[in-house]
Amino acid sequence: MDSSLSAIPWLSALIFLPLVGVLAVLLSDHRNPRASQAIGIVFSSATLLLCIALFKIFPNTGEMALKEAHSWIPSIGAKYLLGIDGISLILVALTALLTVISLLGSWDEFGERSGIFVMLMLSLESGVIGVFLALDLLLFYIFWEAMLIPMYFLIGLFGGPKRFYATTKFVLFTLFGSLLMLLAIAALANFHQQQFGTLSFALADLMKVDLSPEIANICCFAFLLAFAIKVPMWPLHTWLPDAHTEAPTAGSVMLAGVLLKMGTYGMLRFMFPLFPIVISTYLPWLMGFSVVAIVYGALTALAQEDIKRLIACSSVSHMGFITLGLFSFTAEGSLGGTIQMLNHGISTGALFLMAGMIYHRTNTRIIKDLGGLAKSMPILSTIFVFFCFSSIGLPGLNGFVGEFLIMVGAFSVSKVLTAVATLGIVLGAVYLLWMVERVIFGPLKAGGTTPRHGVNPGNVNANANVNVNGHEHGQADFSHADLGHADHGHADLGHADLGHADLGHADHGHADLGHADLGHADLGHGSDHYSGSDVVTRTADRDLNFREFVALLPLIVGVLYIGLHPAPVLDLARPPLKKIIAEYNLKVNQNKSLPQPNGEEGRK
């Protein structure tokens, strides 16, 4: 690489460019939501373009490239140390792409709160990219924890009725594992000081530390627990369906698309290199847990009635395939697991995005309340089925490539576990095709737009003189809005004509809606559940509009490109994986050649 190019702080730019966008939103006109939305699109797109530029200059040798090393906290030996290889480049690019798509897909969704939403999304992007680039474990940990803050507020401020329960569960699970990992990081740095005379948190330095079998097991378990919660592996998965169900659409896209990959990435980047001997004894058990996750997640998905919850449970199964490939620790299995991180981010991220689009048109995600969407929304339905086929792993689409490599790698290690995992593939086809049949090709229900929750843009006329604190402000015409069965947080005023009603200064506590019968409507606080000051008129378009199609187009291209021509992506991931596996095998074989007192490992 040209020395002038290597002198540019590319990786720092990737991390801090979204934060510049946060500052720009803060300085923008908060009364103009479009300004905040435009700033978010501009800065997230700039980050994506920078990733694309890195593909052109990246030397894919398997070694860390474009390294940046600066003194950070000298008193404790912490460094600002960044680096990138093929694995991290894939995941950084996925993060940048999904951020742009999430912001574009959420355009005009949050009204006056758009600025807050955009700042949280850009902050989340910065934290996740930092996780994928950090080579100092303390720096890695800070990015790992920093990511929690914007995700907490994304769900807490813009989520569904049970958002506080979901966010609390998400944060407590993550913090529990993270704090144990922090203790293990501190222990490793302390042992490095004892053995080499200096404190260091750099991965390359900590890989040289010799640990007793007991200490190595404890530290490895702490890392494993933190990463397994994030994946999440069975039985640590229970936070995921709740978080997905209550998260806004953009939050679900980012959670499934990239946040779950932080766990599997952490295993590859840190756990395997730091504790190869201990992991070698865990691998059979970890493969077993992965297979349980595959089957359990698929069976759980079959029992779901909510589209988002079904997709969330399917993620448990799909992430089980990824960990099965990684824990097989074969060339094929590890490569398949790595590529499947990308594939799952594309396919499942797209399904969550489209679930949000369906909800915004029908006001429900309940499968039995949907049906016949192919008749009323043919383009949306076609693309939705396309991504379902991608998630199933249909040959010619991206999901097939990763699953095939995973099964080949796992088969060489355990034929029994691979056979059981095959059941998960069959069940995956069953629950996704069942959902497609009910939602897309089922009988038409009121034109495919009969909601269970929220507004029915249907047949009830409700005329009311709106009286606010004793002052009548005219007649509200709700002729197209049926609020009779609106559930908490789901009221959609998208088609309501408020006539001459002046609600500008209304005190919600004293508003008298006259003779209008609003039934059980509760204007709650959701994002997918419009509320509060964010009464945003939803699009009248029945089928996909241009903005939504543009948001989905890169994902469609990704599915086809990886499915039909996977070689460039495989070639990007293969060299660093080959290096990780070679170092792992070297240490394991060296340990086997050492005298083993009482049959125990002599080194970590």
Q: For 97-121, write each residue's pLDDT tens digit.
A: 999 999 998 887 787 788 899 999 9
Structure tokens at 100: 């742009």
Angle at 222 between CA 218 and CA 226, to 5 degrees: 165
> Which residue would you say has higher pLDDT here, 541 or 78?
78
pLDDT of residue 457 exceeding 50, the answer is no
Q: Are 287 and 327 in contact (CB under 8 A)?
A: yes
Instruction: Go through 546-585 and write b for each residue having 16 or more CB atoms within 10 A of its CB, e for each that does not.
Output: eebeebbebbbebbeebbeebeebbebbbbbbebbbeebe
Tens of pLDDT, residue by residue over 159-185, are: 888 888 888 898 899 899 999 999 999
For helices 378-392 and 398-411, give the axis angle rounded to 10 degrees.
10
> Which residue would you say has higher pLDDT here, 573 or 487?
573
pLDDT of residue 326 exceeding 90, the answer is yes
* Rg of the chain over all Cα atoms, to the nearest angstrom: 25
The pLDDT of 362-367, averaged and rounded, is 88
Burial class of residue 520, CB neighbours in 10 A (0-12, 13-18, 19+): exposed
State the pLDDT confidence band at 469, using cuts at 50, 70 and 90.
very low
What local confidence, expressed as pLDDT, does residue 456 receive? Answer: 37
What local confidence, expressed as pLDDT, does residue 63 receive? Answer: 84
Q: Are 384 and 354 in contact (CB under 8 A)?
A: yes
Structure tokens at 442: 């089922």
CA 318 to centroid of chain Cα atoms:
13
Alpha carbon separation from 3 to 14, 22, 53, 64 (Å, rounded): 19, 32, 16, 16
pLDDT of residue 296 exceeding 90, the answer is yes
Q: Are 397 and 390 in contact (CB under 8 A)?
A: yes
The pLDDT of 579-585, averaged and rounded, is 89
What local confidence, expressed as pLDDT, does residue 2 receive? Answer: 55
Q: Are 320 and 407 in contact (CB under 8 A)?
A: no
Q: For residue 264, what are the contacts with CB-CB under 8 A and spacing of at least 6? A: 227, 231, 319, 322, 323, 326, 337, 341
pLDDT of residue 470 exceeding 50, the answer is no
Q: Are 26 and 119 in contact (CB under 8 A)?
A: yes
pLDDT of residue 485 exceeding 70, the answer is no
pLDDT of residue 452 exceeding 80, the answer is no
Asked whether the bond before 232 is cis by omega within 30 degrees of 0, the reply is yes
The pLDDT of 538-556, averaged and rounded, is 80
pLDDT of residue 492 exceeding 50, the answer is no
> Which residue would you say has higher pLDDT here, 188 or 371?
188
Percent of all residues in the chain with a pLDDT value above 70, rounded to a whole number: 81
In this structure, what DSSP letter does residue 418 have?
Answer: H
What local confidence, expressed as pLDDT, does residue 442 receive? Answer: 73
Burial class of residue 172, CB neighbours in 10 A (0-12, 13-18, 19+): exposed
Q: Which of 11-15, 214-218, 482-486 has the lowest mean pLDDT?
A: 482-486
Instruction: Give the integer Cα–Cα distance in Å for 319 and 336.
Output: 12
> Which residue would you say has higher pLDDT here, 260 or 498?
260
Q: Which of 54-68, 115-129, 282-296, 474-488 has the lowest mean pLDDT?
A: 474-488
Q: For residue 448, what are the contacts with CB-CB under 8 A and spacing of at least 6? A: 362, 370, 371, 372, 373, 375, 376, 377
Alpha carbon separation from 435 to 306, 389, 438, 439 (Å, rounded): 10, 12, 5, 6
The pLDDT of 82-102, averaged and rounded, is 95
pLDDT of residue 465 exceeding 50, the answer is no
Residue whose entry in the numeric block shows the structure tokens 């609106």: 486
Percent of all residues in the chain with a pLDDT value above 90, rounded to a whole number: 56
pLDDT of residue 360 exceeding 70, the answer is yes
Sign of CA dihedral 196, 202, 205, 211: positive
Average pLDDT of the chain, as a whole number: 82
The maximal CA–CA distance of the chain, rounded, in angstroms, is 91
CA 376 to centroid of chain Cα atoms:
30
Q: Which of 56-70, 190-204, 280-294 has the lowest mean pLDDT?
A: 56-70
pTM of the model: 0.81
What local confidence, expressed as pLDDT, does residue 97 receive? Answer: 96
> Which residue would you say has higher pLDDT here, 325 or 523?
325
State the pLDDT confidence band at 502, using cuts at 50, 70 and 90.
very low
pLDDT of residue 408 exceeding 60, the answer is yes
What local confidence, expressed as pLDDT, does residue 527 receive? Answer: 45
Residue whose entry in the numeric block shows the structure tokens 């807050």: 116
What local confidence, expressed as pLDDT, does residue 598 receive? Answer: 54
